[in-house]
Amino acid sequence: MIDNHTKQKQTLRMQRHAMAFATYLVPMSLVMLCWSQGLLPEKVIYHFAAFVFVINFTILFLIQKNINLKFRDPSLTALHITVSCLPALYVMYFLEHGHARAIFMLVLLLAVLYGILELDTRGFLMACLWILSLYVLLIMVLWAKKPEVLDPSLEWIQIITFALVLFSMSVIGGYISSLREKLRSRNQELRSAIEKIDKLVNIDSLTGVSNRRRLFEVLTQETNRCSRGETPFSICLLDIDHFKQVNDAYGHLAGDEILCTIAGSISQDIRNIDAFGRYGGEEFLLILAQTPLCGAVVKAEKVRSQVAGLRFTEISKEIVVTVSIGAAQYRPAEDIDTTLLRADQALYAAKENGRNRVETEKNQTAVA
C-alpha cells in the first residue's frame, strides 16, 4: 500500500506523461508532412507511430502499476527523454535532405525541454550528451551507408550548433529546475510553519490539549452535523475539586502539574471522533460525538473514576485529586451556549451534592 502523498505524486506523474504524450502530435504532424512531400516512405509513418505508442504506454503502465517507485528516478523523466529521441532519429535516417534532418533536430530539443519538470543540471547534461551521441552515431551510420546524402561541411556545422544549443539548454534548464526545487522547499517550509501556527492557535500552551478556541470550532461542527438530522452529541464539563486549596497548599507549579497530568490522562482515553480540551482555569470540556446523554454519563463516570485513581507522588503521597462533572445533550436548534449553560448547571449540582460525582440537569433525561 502507498500513502496519500505518494498517490498524489503518482497522479501528477501520470498527468505529466500524458501531457508529454500529447506533444508527440507535433513530430507526428511533421512526419506526415514530410511523407506528403515525398521525403519519407509510407512505412516510416507506421513505424514512428508504433514507437511513440510503445514508449508512452510502457511508461504510463509503469506509473499506473507503481513499478516506477522501485526506480532511482520514480518520475522516469530521464528515461522518457533518452527513449523519446529514438523515433525522431529513426525518421532522420530516412531523410536524405540535410535541411529536413535539421527540422527534426528541433523535435529532439522538444524532448530535452521535458527535463525542466524534474532534472537538475547534471541530469540535463547527461540527457543532452546521450542525445548528441546518438545523433553523431546516426551521422556515422549515414556516412557508412548513404554518404551521398551528406554534406560534410553542413553536417559539422549542424553538429556543433546542436551541441552548443544542448549545452545552453542544460545550463538554463538546470537553473530553472533549481529554482523550482527551491520553491518546492520554501512551500514545504511554509506548510510546516502554517501547521505550527495552527497548532499554537488551537492548543493550550500549558496542558497540550485543545484550547477554548478549538473547542468552539468542534462545537460548531457538531451542531451543524446535528442540524442535518444526524446523530446527537453530548458534552461534559469537568472541574477539579478544591483546586484553589491545592494551589494554596502546594503552590502554582504543583497546580500546573496536576492540570497537565489530568489533561494528558483523559486525552489519551478518548475516541478519535471526540474532542477534549481546557475550557478555562481548572475546567475542561469533553465533546462526545454521536453520543446521547446516557452514553455521556457512562463516559463521564469513567473519567471521574480515572482521575480519582491518579497519584501525584512527586507533589505529595497524600494528595488525592477529584473532579466534578456536569453532562448535557445538545438539543436540535438550540444555541450552543444554552447547552453549555445546562452542563454548567449540572456541574454546579455535582459540586453542591458533595463533589467527585457526575450530574445532569434535573430536567434532562438520558436519551437513548
Which domain CATH number covers 336?
3.30.70.270
Q: Does 237 share its domain with 178?
A: no
Last residue of a domain, which of 146, 167, 195? Answer: 195
Say if CB 19 and CB 80 are below 8 A apart: no
Please give the average pLDDT of every successive group of 10 residues along the chain, which has 368 residues: 79 83 85 90 92 89 88 83 87 85 82 76 85 91 88 85 87 82 86 81 90 93 86 93 91 93 94 94 95 94 95 87 95 91 95 94 49
What's the CA gap between 92 and 90, in Å, rounded? 5
Last residue of a domain, which of 169, 195, 221? Answer: 195
Q: Does 167 share its domain with 35?
A: yes
Q: Residue 56 has what pLDDT?
A: 86
What's the first-to-final CA gap in the chain, in angstroms? Answer: 40
Q: Residue 1 has what pLDDT?
A: 63
pTM of the model: 0.54
Q: Read off the C-alpha cell for 311.
A: 497519584
Counting DSSP H helices and E strands in the chain, the numbers are 12, 5
Q: Residue 360 has what pLDDT?
A: 93
Q: Does 86 share its domain with 160?
A: yes
Q: Does 184 share its domain with 268?
A: no
Say if CB 275 and CB 284 are below 8 A apart: no
Question: Cα-flanking dihedrals φ and ψ of residue 316, to 5°?
Answer: -165, 140
Query: What is the domain count for the chain?
Result: 2
Q: At what angle do helices 77-94 and 4-23 cross, to 10 degrees?
A: 10
Residue 294 within any structural domain of the chain: yes
Question: Which class for 80: exposed (0-12), middle (13-18), buried (19 or more C-beta within 10 A)?
Answer: buried
Last residue of a domain, which of 154, 169, 195? Answer: 195
Q: Which residues of 228-251 are buried (b: 16+ CB within 10 A; e: fewer)?
A: eeeebbbbbbbbbbebeebbeebe
Q: Which residues of 175-201 are buried (b: 16+ CB within 10 A; e: fewer)?
A: eebeeeeeeeeeeeeeeeeeeeeeeee
Residue 200 within any structural domain of the chain: no
Question: Cα-flanking dihedrals φ and ψ of residue 110, to 5°?
Answer: -60, -40
Q: Does 136 share its domain with 45?
A: yes
- Give tens-digit pLDDT for 296-338: 999 999 999 999 999 998 888 888 999 999 999 999 889 999 9
Q: Does 117 share its domain with 228?
A: no
What's the CA gap between 277 and 299, in Å, rounded? 16
Q: Does 63 share its domain with 154?
A: yes
Q: Does 242 share its domain with 181?
A: no
Q: Does 111 share its domain with 140?
A: yes
Q: Does 131 share its domain with 49?
A: yes
Q: Residue 116 has what pLDDT?
A: 75
Q: Residue 27 has what pLDDT?
A: 86
Cβ neighbours for 158, distance < 8 A, ≥ 6 positions apart = 98, 101, 102, 105
Q: Does 42 share its domain with 172?
A: yes
Which residues are catalytically annotated?
282
Distances (CA, A) of 151 to 41, 46, 103, 163, 205: 22, 29, 16, 18, 78
Q: Does 224 share its domain with 341?
A: yes
- Expressed as residue numbers, the domain containing 52 is 4-195
Residue 9 within any structural domain of the chain: yes
